[in-house]
Amino acid sequence: MASKDGQKPLHIYNELYGVLAEYFPDHRSAQKVFNVPGFASDLGKSHETIYKALRSDRLHIGVALEVLKLSAERHPEMPIYWGDLIRFVLPDFLKFSDPALLPDG
């Protein structure tokens, strides 16, 4: 996919990309590149929705829920959990959580 100015876009490698690539190995190419359009299609989302999430390193809660469902369906032996995604949905979750409810709290 080319950018608006016609230049080849830089590939996005961040924490969210790493988590999705790890938990969805069937969406990686032989070169280990994550297939965003294929993943988006399986989620029933547009590829731009997933690229936007990857660019921002953030997931909307509805997209996160679809990721969880797809993982449970496709990879029940190694599903992704809310704990794996919460930092992308609520980045300040731990900062504003009750310390008594946190591990080691």
Q: How far is Cα 20 from Cα 57, in angstroms, rounded to an integer? A: 11
- pTM metric for this prediction: 0.79
Q: How far is Cα 47 from Cα 2, in angstroms, rounded to an integer? A: 13
Structure tokens at 36: 């965003």
**pLDDT given at position 4:** 52
The more confident residue out of 12 and 51 is 51
The more confident residue out of 26 and 1 is 26
pLDDT at position 3 over 70? no
Looking at the chain, the whole-number percentage of residues with pLDDT higher than 70 is 86
Contacts of 94 (CB under 8 A, 6+ apart): 87, 102
The domain spans of the chain are: 15-101
